Amino acid sequence: MVMGDLVDEVEVAVVGGGPGGYSAAFRCAELGLETVVIDADRRLGGACLFEGCIPSKALLHVAAVLSEVERAREWGVDFGEPRISLDPLRKWKQERVVGKLARGLAAVAKGKGVTVIGGRAVFEDSTTLRVEGESLQKVRFKHAIVATGSAPAALPGIALASDRVMDSTAALALPDIPERLLVIGGGYIGLELGTVYAALGSRVTLVEMTEGLLPGVDRDLVQPLHRRVEKLFAAVHLGTKVTALREAGGRIEATLEGQGAEAFDRVLVAVGRKARSAGLGLETTGVRLTERGAFIQVDERCRTHDPHLYAVGDVTGEPMLAHRAMRQGKVAADVLAGRPSAFDNVAIPAVVFTDPEIAWCGLDEAQAKRRGMEVKIAKFQWTASGRAATIGRADGLTKLVADAASGRVVGVGIVGPGAGELIAEATLAIETAALVEDVAATIHAHPTLSESLMEAAESLLG
Ligand code: FAD
Ligand code: NAD
């Protein structure tokens, strides 16, 4: 130890102040453990609050309002052409939404006695962290929880350093509304932020390397979204790669495989995220990483191979979702405090906040069949929903997957407005091992979109 180094001795050091890290820290504090959070930006919220879930959903809300205004013309209500002012929009997103929530998290930390230290943390061994902040600091701990999250993946081979080539963080800053935007990647971010920019007035071209949008997601759910983005976007190229990017004359020239070169004002690269496990000094600990993706290996109790270290959130792998990180954070805290707890959830909901929204949980039809399960499938089209008719959105679908042998609901997929809220009931049904007849016999308020789940269940009963 160098003379003059500041040394903190704590029971728990949490590295990373995102949803995984702050949920773990708050729970540790509730359990009476002295806890510090070390975050490179000295704030709680992480990617989710500052450059992910929250700012993107604020902008998607604006996009939804714009498309609702457009739809209202059909109902005889014309608000005229929307005029978009970026300064107030940025200010609302940054100050009224993100800033307000950030202040709330800081207040909760203070209330619970959780200290937030600013700086980049590096492990020196299994019980010591070096914090490279304004001053050098060491933190000695009994347990550490690694929650360093993930960062955008770069385009292999054709990365171009230019302000016009944006990752999701740069795109969320809304530098301008480009006339022509190229979105590379038809996953969560490409579709959500492509929707935002298209609603704000950009002509969006989306390029997806695989043969369909949202690879891995049930095609019955993706199809209505695909139809919608084909109208909303200027072009959607599936099974296509961008083979070159070049800056010329203040624009980006992109070569699309089999399509030739096209010029764009900006490019959004959204081809996935990678674990932030490098440069953390993990080699000085007993932690092991996965061969593919360099994710930290954890068991169902969020324990790593080092008895002092736990890990939660995106740095531990897929699905990289904030609510998974939060649940893992609580599990890690309970486990290190000696409480019986495990990340043994049966269903993790996923929501793509596009228009229409897509949400799912549990097993989809293909996954259930791959497990050798004999399944019963119900598809309730929203054309038969009173509520969907009243909001002019009959394009939705609720799909229910049941295990034929036990009668249990094992998976649900929903596409349509509000799918992200509706999926909560399905997640609870699966987590509590509800039978199809439980869902069918539960009274659902009329007229609501939630009836679609009851209707799907009813259709499976003889
Ligand atoms: P993070 O939120 O990434 O936080 C990690 C923190 O650790 C950061 O603050 C970082 O600065 C800090 N850190 C890293 N290394 C160090 C170090 N060495 N020392 C100190 N601090 C360090 N998920 C959803 O569930 N719903 C959504 O709607 C959603 N939308 C998204 C939209 C976008 C555009 C993006 C990019 C992501 C979105 N996600 C969404 C994913 C979600 O943001 C992540 O799953 C979630 O933030 C992961 O939380 P985490 O705690 O694991 O890590
Ligand atoms: P993603 O994995 O969802 O999608 C990446 C897409 O890019 C895939 O469809 C992939 O086939 C495609 N792709 C990969 N390389 C390509 C290339 N060279 N050319 C063209 N297409 C290519 O990743 P993302 O959209 O970057 O999002 C990252 C993660 O962040 C998500 O997986 C998710 O975990 C999280 N996220 C969640 C939400 C939400 O919950 N609503 C929103 C945004 C992000």
Q: State how far the Cα of 380 lies from the Cα of 460, in Å rounded to an integer.
A: 11
Residue 417: cis peptide before it, omega within 30 degrees of 0: no
Q: What ligand is nearest to the CA atom of residue 238?
A: 2
- 37 CA → ligand 1 middle, Å: 15
Q: For 351-377, what is each residue's pLDDT tens digit?
A: 999 999 999 999 999 999 999 999 999
What is the CA angle 421-426-429, rounded to 5?
140
Residue ID of nearest Cα to ligand 2 atom 26: 272
- The CA distances from residue 393 to 66, 79, 108, 379, 397, in Å, are 16, 20, 40, 17, 10
Q: State how far the Cα of 458 lies from the Cα of 220, in Å rounded to an integer.
A: 20
Q: Which residue has the tokens 């070390």?
A: 38
Token digits of residue 407: 């009668």
pLDDT above 90 for 21: yes
446 given a catalytic annotation: yes
The whole model's pTM is what? Answer: 0.97
Q: What ligand is nearest to the CA atom of residue 272?
A: 2
- 318 CA → ligand 2 middle, Å: 12
Most informative mutation of 48, 117, 285 for ligand 1 (most atoms within 8 A of CB): 48
Token digits of residue 453: 């789940």
- 277 CA → ligand 1 middle, Å: 13
Q: For 37-92, what is each residue's pLDDT tens digit?
A: 999 999 999 999 999 999 999 999 999 999 999 999 999 999 999 999 999 999 99
Report DSSP state, residue 289.
B
Among 376, 371, 358, residue whose Cα is nearest residue 418: 358
Q: For 116-168, what is each residue's pLDDT tens digit?
A: 999 999 999 999 999 998 777 999 999 999 999 999 999 988 888 999 999 99
Q: State how far the Cα of 74 lies from the Cα of 69, in Å rounded to an integer.
A: 10
Q: State how far the Cα of 23 lies from the Cα of 331, in Å rounded to an integer.
A: 9
Atom nearest to 168 CA in ligand 1: 34
Which pairs count as long-range contacts for 159-162, CB under 8 Å and 24+ apart, including other chains?
159/245, 160/245, 160/246, 160/247, 160/252, 162/247, 162/252
